[in-house]
Each structure stands twice: as C-alpha cells, then as structure tokens.
C-alpha cells in the first residue's frame, strides 16, 4: 500500500468508524493503512549509525571502547583495556549520551520547611488578559499543597519544591 493510498483509506475508514462499527475487512484495511503511515512517519526507529569517534560497548563482554576506523562491514575499536579489535555492527552498541530517566533533583539547604504564599511584583510592562499593563503589578500565588518547601542552592538561587 502506498502512502497516498494509505492516507485516503485511513481518512475514509476513520470517518466511517465515527458513524458505525467497522467490519472485519475494514478493520484489517485500517490496520494496514495505519502501519504504513507509522512506518513512513518514523524513520528514526532505525538503529543509529555508528561513526568514527563514537563510544560503544561490546554486547557480550560489556567493555566500553571507541571506534577508531570503519571499513564496511567492520569497525576497528580500541577498548578501555587498551586492546584493538575488529567487530561488526551486530556485536557492538552505541553508548547513549546523558543519564537515563529523570535528572536527579539538585541538592540544596532547606531554608523554609513550609511555604504558604509567594508575592511577586512585575518590573517591566507586559500584557495581561490581552491588555498592556504597566510595571509594578503585584501577583500572588497561594500554595494548595501544605508541603511546599524552599531550598537554597549553592549558586545562591532558590528552589521551590511542592510535593
């Protein structure tokens, strides 16, 4: 199924599905059209190409190394223990940059164990509700959570955390 046909089939069958229950053959056609569109829209699902200079690890031994040279279908890798070897792409995986999951919260010193309200003043002219407002407008934020705390960070800034 081509992408142009898949777009038309998908649009038509989704319109029909809003009016009535689809028949089994229509469900099958909708599934095929959806899969065609998904595979076209997500070419990033392909494996990342490993290039010279990338950090990789061996799938079996879990040793890290650096790609020195690439000569298809082999990579010349210098491992962390100082040895060199030639491997194929199926034997190695790229090391992804950055931590997995969420970043840890920054560490700081607790200043206030319970924050009830923040009162702030705008120092520049701005728009509020589609109208231009002069500087000096006061804003208030009342915390619904009783566990809002204020921490002092090493760089002098403040961090407000509400559970």
pTM: 0.34
* Domain count within the chain: 3
User: Contact at 8 Å (CB) between 86 and 76?
Assistant: yes
> Is 8 domain-assigned?
yes
Nearest to 67 by CA among 81, 90, 51, 82: 51
Does one domain contain both 66 and 41?
A: no
Phi, psi angles (nearest 5°) of residue 98? 85, 165
* pLDDT at residue 98, rounded to an integer: 55
Does one domain contain both 38 and 62?
A: no
Does one domain contain both 41 and 67?
A: no
CA-CA distances (angstroms) from residue 150 to 45, 109, 130, 139?
42, 9, 32, 19
* pLDDT at residue 45, rounded to an integer: 45
Give the burial class of 65: count Cβ atoms within 10 A of its Cβ; 0-12 exposed, 13-18 middle, 19 or more buried: buried
Does one domain contain both 82 and 121?
A: no
Does one domain contain both 144 and 125?
A: yes
Predicted confidence (pLDDT) at residue 44 exceeds the cutoff of 50:
no
The whole domain housing 68 covers 55-94
């Amino acid at each position: 199924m081509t992408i142009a046909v898949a777009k038309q089939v998908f649009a038509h069958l989704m319109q029909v599905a809003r009016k009535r229950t689809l028949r089994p053959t229509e469900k099958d056609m909708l599934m095929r059209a959806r899969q065609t569109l998904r595979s076209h829209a997500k070419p990033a699902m392909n494996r990342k190409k490993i290039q010279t200079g990338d950090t990789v690890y061996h799938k079996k031994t879990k040793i890290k190394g650096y790609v020195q040279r690439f000569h298809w279908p082999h990579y010349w890798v210098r491992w962390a223990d100082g040895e060199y070897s030639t491997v194929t792409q199926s034997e190695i995986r790229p090391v992804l940059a950055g931590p997995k999951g969420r970043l840890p919260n920054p560490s700081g010193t607790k200043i206030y164990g319970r924050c009830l309200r923040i009162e702030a003043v705008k120092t520049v002219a701005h728009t509020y509700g589609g109208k231009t407002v002069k500087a000096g407008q006061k804003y208030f934020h009342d915390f619904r959570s009783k566990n809002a705390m204020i921490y002092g960070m090493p760089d002098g800034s403040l961090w407000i955390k509400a559970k």
